[in-house]
Chain A
Amino acid sequence: MKHLLGTDGLDADQASAVLDTAEALKRTLLGREVRKLPTLRGRTVITLFYEASTRTRVSFEIAGKWMSADVVNVSASGSSVGKGESLRDTALTLAAAGADCVILRHPSSGAAHRLAGWLTEAGTSVVNAGDGMHEHPTQALLDAATLRERLGDLAGRRIAIVGDVLHSRVARSNVNLLTTLGAEVVLVAPPTLLPAGVRRWPVTVSHTLDAELPGADAVMMLRVQAERMHGGFFPSAREYSIAYGLSEARLATLPDHAVVLHPGPMLRGMEIASAVADSPRAAITQQVANGVHVRMAVLYHLLAHEEEMA
């Protein structure tokens, strides 16, 4: 792998290889006092974030540091990015400064693809840490890693993704990855929060959460962003919560083995009840922990091999 731009285009072998590596890394580090591997010593990894983010940036930073890479964080405020420098110029500057890998979070869909194009000559790898409404591949990989731990092989498993699919890069990356791994995906949302053309995705679509829960092996709740609540996509937060929120009563209708995921940050009481988020069925903190191992695995697959001939 040269770049990780999305889960669209990852085949089942590549995706499984990354997940296997993440699992091996997790086992390797389990119970250790010193969680530091020398694998990426001397490699420089730069996180370049144009959107506020705590969990993703920190997760990548820890992943890089546990692999002994030199990790440099650049954020839009307090850098030349804030002075109007173009993404292209910033990227070329970072590559010239010796970046082996740039991890990009950007509000424009496709920004990571563009970056990869500009950095082809420099040989710098690009990881998409979330681009607009397009993809967030490491989030999908950590979700899959968590589901594999809880459910085993994902082939034939039924996973409901609930909420604002329209604006969600997490949903897009998960649809691609989970279907590639053989899972059945059902998208549950009001029609206003589903993209046009969703009927041609390899998923089923439902507007009734209660009908989908008894048959689900996992439920992935998506965050409802504040700006959507006032954007006229649904009448009120209350009505949304009643129709699409994961309440304790709804949790009880899930099969016993079923898992609840949330990419965070959560709006407790809105899309997920507090008691549900804190229940043992929820794998939310496990997702965060797996995030570090998955991102270590991604860096390993991008940086710890011979240069590919372009």
Chain B
Amino acid sequence: MRTPLVLRGARPYGEGEPVDVLVRDGLIAAIGPTVGAEGAEVLDATGQVLLPGFVDLHTHLREPGREDTETIATGSAAAALGGYTAVFAMANTDPVADNAVIVEHVWRRGREVGLVDVHPVGAVTVGLAGERLAELGTMAGSRARVRVFSDDGHCVHDPLLMRRALEYSTALDVVVAQHAEEPRLTAGAQAHEGEIAARLGLAGWPAVAEESIVARDCLLARQTGARLHVCHVSTAGTAEILRWAKEQGIAVSAEVTPHHLLLDDERLTTFDPVNKVNPPLRTGEDTTALRAALAAGVLDCVATDHAPHATQDKDCEWSSARPGMLGLQTALSIVVRTMVEPGLLDWRGVARVMSERPAEIAGLPDQGRPLAVGEPATLTLVDPDATWTVRGAEFASIATNTPYEGMELPARVVTTLLRGRITAREGEVRA
């Protein structure tokens, strides 16, 4: 039996008067103006915002295969420090997580590390090759209980295969998360197709390559009655299609990354591949539209697409560089910068897009829960007034490829609790 814990003086959802929260046996035992318990450890949270622990639907932990860039242990640490209590580990590992053995391995390693709930994402197709369905049912029924399937990094572009995946998923109560990219329209693509790429001589990744797949998949979801999740929405046009689809009652959800909310393709003029990501950084108009869509609920949630890469895969010429950015330890701050500071979201809205909606989409029963007595004490405490300077080398990830290096950002995660246990506190993880 663990010592009870009192979180003193925090404001749930950043609303109302500060309260004390008593945490006992992994649950919220009491909430009130002054709450105490015999022998409880007291954690001063004065001025901090209390939120449900964050859930990331889109994380690359690189294990197995590229443990030189991230492991389940280091990625879990980065997640806990970023305020996350659950992460979904993408299937594009080596070997690919397209069978029960690999997903159970990832799940087990996550439990051993114990800093966040690591939920493996299963591949939709064998080897991410887009040719035949992976054993979705076996993965769903494994100890890892896979509930999200994605070929992320690759699009399930064959319409017949995507239709089958969606149809098949309806029997399993799982969601198919699509990396929307029509490959025939992005052959050799290096940057958002627009004025900047034209000037820099970088082959274009047109918005329509994403939008045409999202439109098609929404129609397929309607046809099959399946649930569809759209990964890393990057264009204003995709947001328009999603708005329409939701109005039609199609069971589609969507995520946006912090970098697509903040950064645009003007950053490419240095040719520094730290800015290379897939889908690519779009225009300033797109970031504005994506922020509005997230505020309106057209986009359901924020997902990091945390993608660690080795230095030699980033400190090279643009076309040779791998796409992707670190995101776990900066996500909250970017959401505050892009959504809270301009008044597009309040802290309850942050709880919605960072915790509640992603937990719902993935069907997690014990994450993204209300801040109420009897609920799991899976919580994140945020100092809303802090400012800090990003230093990739100081992150828990092995890789350092953050596009925000040197940037001064608002708000900082102070404490993360997973079922009543402190996993991160003041920048240190507690295993």
Give me the interface of A with B, judged by CB distance under 8 Å: 8, 86-88, 106-111, 113-114, 117, 131-135, 169, 172, 195-198, 200-201
Contacts and interface: CB of A to CB of B under 8 A. Distances in A.
B201 A111 contact: no
B198 interface: yes
14 contacts: A8-B199, A86-B312, A106-B317, A108-B319, A109-B201, A109-B318, A113-B270, A114-B272, A135-B201, A196-B194, A196-B206, A197-B194, A197-B195, A197-B196
A107 B193 contact: no
Contacts of B199: 8, 172, 197, 201
B201 A132 contact: yes
B405 interface: no
B361 interface: no
B202 interface: yes
Interface string B310-336: 001001111110000000000000000
A172 B201 contact: yes
Sort chain B's interface into a size bin: 20 to 34
Given A109-B190, A197-B195, A197-B196, A131 B201 contact: yes
Given A133-B202, A133-B203, A110 B318 contact: yes
Given A110-B271, A200-B195, A169 B315 contact: no
Nearest to A198: B198
Contacts of B197: 195-197
Contact of A196 (B190, B204, B271): B204
A177 to B, nearest CB: 14
Contacts of B193: 196-197
Given A86-B312, A113-B270, A107 B201 contact: no
B198 A107 contact: no
Name the residue in B195, B201, B315, B320 with the highest tally of chain A Cβ atoms < 10 Å from its Cβ.
B201
Contacts of B203: 133
A195 B190 CA distance: 14
Contact of B316 (A114, A131, A134): A114
A8 B200 CA distance: 10
Interface in B154-207: 190, 193-204, 206
Contacts of B315: 88
Nearest to B318: A110
Given A109-B319, A110-B317, 16 more contacts: A8-B199, A88-B316, A106-B317, A110-B201, A111-B317, A113-B270, A114-B271, A114-B318, A132-B319, A133-B203, A134-B201, A195-B198, A195-B204, A196-B195, A197-B196, A197-B199
A40 B193 CA distance: 43
